[in-house]
């Protein structure tokens, strides 16, 4: 079968690899759609936790091709999406609802071969049958939405909170929709792209500001919650400065593994700030699936374009255009 393989940092090729036969308790899925995530760019660049060679792709949907021994919940032809998380289910973190911190944490497309291929193998327990009303494009968005659900659970906004969000990409615009439904009284979105900011306003932001026009004096009270979706250290340092007293800062965007930032420990103490991380998903795939199934989040405006598997190595290697949102790969 054809697959995109990142053989080493900054080097991806399309090549023939063996078909992934399902073992006991596993299914093999014929992939239809795969989303390209910011994490995939980090994997390509060698700034994530991934081994090489690796087939990336953890946001996907498709059709069951084969089922392994003991699998009764699925049959060939079922339309599915899947939680990419690979957890031991036995460590103290798994047993205390902190599975994304599993001591053996792994994920399809991150630590083992994923879905940028014609077929992908996965534990049957991770898959979910999608209804006819859900397109393969929408189903490939369930995993990103699950990240948003986890981030919102971590942020724990209160009615009336004032929020500023940095980064109006595909993930940021999903967060805009979730935050606007959570009771925030004010939601300011900051980005370099006028087009993305206009879409942010349409999806629930109360104010949009170009990055180069942002001024701290325009927001003397600061904000109850600050969210970074860029993962860029310089932006993160700037964003933290917008925290008001007792404010909460959510680091949602993925930064390079070796990145560092500066923060004032006195301000952290004196202003009663709370710093929060949000890594991947944490038992939030099914709530996200329901959000997508019930059309509670607008996803179609977030897809900038669809490319082929053969076009993907070049796409990963090029700088990302500032106006680009989600790019999906059509496999079949």
And the tokens for 31? 């992939």
**Residue 42 annotated as catalytic:** yes
CA distance 278 to 253: 8
The residue from 42, 58, 150, 283 that is catalytic is 42
**Residue 39 annotated as catalytic:** yes
Q: Is the peptide bond before 53 cis (omega within 30 degrees of 0)?
A: yes
Burial (CB count within 10 angstroms: exposed 0-12, middle 13-18, buried 19+), residue 329: buried
Residue 35's SS3 state is strand
The residue from 39, 47, 111, 284 that is catalytic is 39
Q: Which residues contact 231 (CB under 8 A, 6 or more apart)?
A: 38, 253, 254, 255, 256, 259
- The DSSP output letter for 308 is E
Neighbours of 96 (CB within 10 A): 9
CA distance 262 to 117: 40
Burial (CB count within 10 angstroms: exposed 0-12, middle 13-18, buried 19+), residue 212: exposed
**Which residues are known to be catalytic?**
39, 42
């Amino acid at each position: 079968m054809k697959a995109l393989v990142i053989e080493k940092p900054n080097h991806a090729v399309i090549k023939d690899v063996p078909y992934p036969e399902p073992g006991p308790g596993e299914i093999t899925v014929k992939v239809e759609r795969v989303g390209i995530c910011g994490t995939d760019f980090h994997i390509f660049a060698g700034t994530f936790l991934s081994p090489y060679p690796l087939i990336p792709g953890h946001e996907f949907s498709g059709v069951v091709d084969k089922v392994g021994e003991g699998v009764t919940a699925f049959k060939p032809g079922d339309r599915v999406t899947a939680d990419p998380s690979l957890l031991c289910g036995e460590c103290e973190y798994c047993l205390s609802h902190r599975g994304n911190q599993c001591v053996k944490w792994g994920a399809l497309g991150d630590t083992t071969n994923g879905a940028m291929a014609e077929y992908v193998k996965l534990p049957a327990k991770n898959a979910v049958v999608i209804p006819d009303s859900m397109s393969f494009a929408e189903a490939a968005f369930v995993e990103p939405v699950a990240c948003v659900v986890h981030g919102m659970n971590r942020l724990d906004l209160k009615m009336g909170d004032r929020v500023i969000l940095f980064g109006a990409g595909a993930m940021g615009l999903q967060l805009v929709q979730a935050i606007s439904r959570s009771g925030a009284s004010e939601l300011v979105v900051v980005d370099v792209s006028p087009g993305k900011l206009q879409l942010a306003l349409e999806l629930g932001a109360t104010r949009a500001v170009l990055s180069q026009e942002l001024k701290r004096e325009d927001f003397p009270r600061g904000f109850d919650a600050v969210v970074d979706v860029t993962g860029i250290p310089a932006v993160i340092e700037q964003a933290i400065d917008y925290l008001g007293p007792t404010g909460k800062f959510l680091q949602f965007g993925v930064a390079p593994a070796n990145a560092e930032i500066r923060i004032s420990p006195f301000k952290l103490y004196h202003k009663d700030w709370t710093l929060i991380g949000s890594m991947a998903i944490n038992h939030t795939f099914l709530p996200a699936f329901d959000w997508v199934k019930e059309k509670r989040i607008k996803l179609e405006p977030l897809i900038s374009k669809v490319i082929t598997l053969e076009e993907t190595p070049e796409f990963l290697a090029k700088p990302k255009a500032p106006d680009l949102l989600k790019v999906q790969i059509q496999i079949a």
